[in-house]
Structure 1
Amino acid sequence: MFSIIKKRFWYDWIFVAIRTLWMVIIISASFIKPSLIDASFWVLFSFAFVVYLVPLIAWCRNADWYLAVDVMAAGGFHLYLAYTAPELLWSFVLLVMNIGLASNRRTYVWTGILCGIILPALNGWIAGRLPYEFIVSNGFGFAIGFTFNILIQSHKQALIIHEQKLLLEQHIERIEELTLMEERSRLSHELHDTIGHTLTSLIVGVESLRSSVPNSQIERIDSLVGIAQHSLVDIRKHLHQLSHTPLNHSLSESLRQFTEDFMKSTGIMVKFRVIGSETLVMQKINFCLYRCLQESLDNAVRRA
């Protein structure tokens, strides 16, 4: 029962409110002006309660046969009112509005003909009144209900389009992230091959000059070789970080893996500890935290 209530929107409660208003009018008229009704109160109340409740149950269950049930129940009850309480026939407009509200492009023709023409004409004929009065009022009520139904369907379509738009934006952001990661990985590999080969050739070339220079220049050779080797290691480390695709696992596991890689590449001991259970956050926040750890450790190495 509660699950059915949660699935309903504000415009669904308008349907219930109109139906409840109709029931209140019938009962109130029985108490305020009993002379208008040529029938037992309990018979009228029981019949009205069935007309109120049975179609409502079918509507709550989203049954395909709801419209048929409501048309038969409402039409039969107001044919009964045409005999016993003709002054209350105007209340049929409220139920006709509900029927128009529940009609769609496949059903509005037969529901409109029955509720807007045939049943009002029968009510007028039985009550001894001009049928066109009932036809105009009920036809207008059906038109109001069906028009509101069109507005509701447009609102639902707008919500669906908005949800699809958000989903599409998420996919686009994900594609941009994957494209950026792929491009960074490609660029880092190209730089690694080019700069790595260049620096390695430079180191080998400088080392080959060691036997050709006087002893006074050996210290400068060692210094140049050391600078080149340090630059090669530093560039490889940064290119590795550039090409690395973080967050393939959970955030804590990705941070732990990066810390272990950092300790292997630098030889610096880093203590990493996770306290409590991890809370899921947005992907952008995960990347931000990951980059913060990278920058913190890099700054510690360069400036400590």
Structure 2
Amino acid sequence: MQTIRNKHWAYLTLFYIRVIWILLHLGLLSYEYKGNTENLFLILFTCLIAGVLPQFVWFYYEDRKPWLYPVVELVISGLFFIYSSYVMDLYFSYLAIPAMCAAATIHTQRLRIPLWIWFSVLPAIAMTIVLPVSSYNISIIEGFLFFGLGTIIWKVIDTQRKMQELLEENDKQRQVLEQYAKQVEKITLLEERNRLSRELHDTVGHTLTSVIMGLDAMSFLIREEPEEALQNVKQLSRISREGLEEVRRQIHHISPLKEDESISTQLKRIADEFSLSTGTKIKLDVNGTNLTVHPQISLILVRCLQESLTNAKRHGKADHIDILFDSNPNQLSLTIRDNGCGMDDVVFGFGLSSMRERIETYQGTLEIDSIAGKGTTVVCQLPYKIGKAG
């Protein structure tokens, strides 16, 4: 059970202010009313009941029945307020702090308005008993203004509570997004492993198989046809070098990013390495501001460039490739255009499908425009601010 002890610090402050208020009035009654010994104990007892009973209800029932305390406060404190003023024939200022505490604990408008009215009427009734009807200044301050002050306190506490709930909700959403990002990272690593295994099987594996078979044949040719064997040795050497270059390219695919490099620098490095290893002429243009890009977005752009360069050379037989990277605070755009053989119908194989899925995961788009004999254009667009697709 959550009692007032577990509530906001402002409620605890009001709770103890009310305790001090009751003790103060017990002392004042003992001093001001000591001449009338016959009624002194009765009025002190009623003051104690009026102080303890609402306090008890507030302490134990605030969480289960939040409406109960302000109603009990109105009835008990209001009756004692009128009774004490009547017995003492003196306007006994008592209702201010109870009215403020009651207003600070009301959570519904339907209850607040009638209680505000009644807490404003009670001082007027007490004032009518002891003073002329025309004098109500003190009674207005006693009920109406202090209840309004309690309403303001409630509003401040409620606003702070809502802000705290919003912060907690934002923290939960952040944790969910972090979990999504970790899942995407795992999926990306799995995709890279699958792609790498396929690339090694199709390229490096084929190269090494050719070299092994050629070496096996050399044992026969080196005795019978030394000249032909020498030519085969040179050919096997060339094939082995090509296989080594392919292994190096795959290693670059595994770890293409460097933390201290901007995205434009990373793209230029990959383009330069590809141009050097394949002899392809590559032109890179960078437009826009040099923005700091999320690592996951950088990886997607790098993979898009790598896959596009590989396809342009292997399938399109291109010898010239133009790259345009355009960045702004809203969107990042990477365009790769080659002069290869192109195709009439774009087939999304393993590499292109993985690229599209990776881009769409972060609310990006992938467009491929290819014409047979005129080359292929790949356009990858991603939002600058990272976001998980719903």
1:152 aligns with 2:157: yes
What's 2:101 paired with? 98
What's 2:47 paired with? 48
User: What is the rounded CA distance, in whole Å, between the counterparts of 2:130 and 2:174 in structure 1?
Assistant: 61
1:186 is paired with a residue of what secondary structure?
Answer: helix
What's 1:83 paired with? 86
Query: How far apart are 1:188 and its partner, in Å?
Result: 2.0
Q: Spell out the pairing of 1:172-183 with structure 2 (5 A cutoff).
A: 172-183=177-188
TM-score of the aligned structures, taking structure 2 as reference length = 0.52
Query: How far apart are 1:36 and its partner, in Å?
Result: 8.1
AA matched with 2:153 = F
1:214 aligns with 2:219: no
Q: Which structure features the higher share of helix residues?
A: 1
Paired-residue identity, %: 14
Query: How far apart are 1:69 and its partner, in Å?
Result: 1.1
Query: How far apart are 1:84 and its partner, in Å?
Result: 1.9
User: Size of the alignment, in residue pairs?
Assistant: 232
User: What is the rounded CA distance, in whole Å, between the counterparts of 1:66 and 1:93 in structure 2?
Assistant: 16
User: What is the rounded CA distance, in whole Å, between the counterparts of 1:145 and 1:34 in structure 2?
Assistant: 30
Name structure 1 gaps, 5 residues minimum: 240-304
User: What is the rounded CA distance, in whole Å, between the counterparts of 1:177 and 1:170 in structure 2?
Assistant: 11
Q: 2:147 aligns with which of 142, 149, 152?
A: 142
Q: Spell out the pairing of 1:107-256 with structure 2 (5 A cutoff).
A: 107-116=111-120, 118-130=121-133, 132-137=136-141, 138-210=143-215, 211-212=217-218, 214=222
TM-score of the aligned structures, taking structure 1 as reference length = 0.66
Name structure 2 gaps, 5 residues minimum: 224-228, 255-390
Query: How far apart are 1:135 and its partner, in Å?
Result: 3.5
User: What is the rounded CA distance, in whole Å, between the counterparts of 1:14 and 1:37 in structure 2?
Assistant: 35
Higher RCO, 1 vs 2 (CA within 8 Å, ≥6 residues apart)? 1
1:91 is paired with a residue of what secondary structure?
Answer: coil
AA matched with 1:178 = Q
> What do residues 242-296 of structure 1 show as CA deviations (whole Å, max 9, x unaligned)?
xxxxxxxxxxxxxxxxxxxxxxxxxxxxxxxxxxxxxxxxxxxxxxxxxxxxxxx
User: What is the rounded CA distance, in whole Å, between the counterparts of 2:7 and 2:53 in structure 1?
Assistant: 18
Query: How far apart are 1:219 and its partner, in Å?
Result: 10
Query: How far apart are 1:37 and its partner, in Å?
Result: 6.8
2:84 is paired with a residue of what secondary structure?
Answer: helix
Calculate the aligned-residue CA RMSD, in Å.
3.3
> What do residues 21-53 of structure 1 show as CA deviations (whole Å, max 9, x unaligned)?
221221111233235878633212221222122
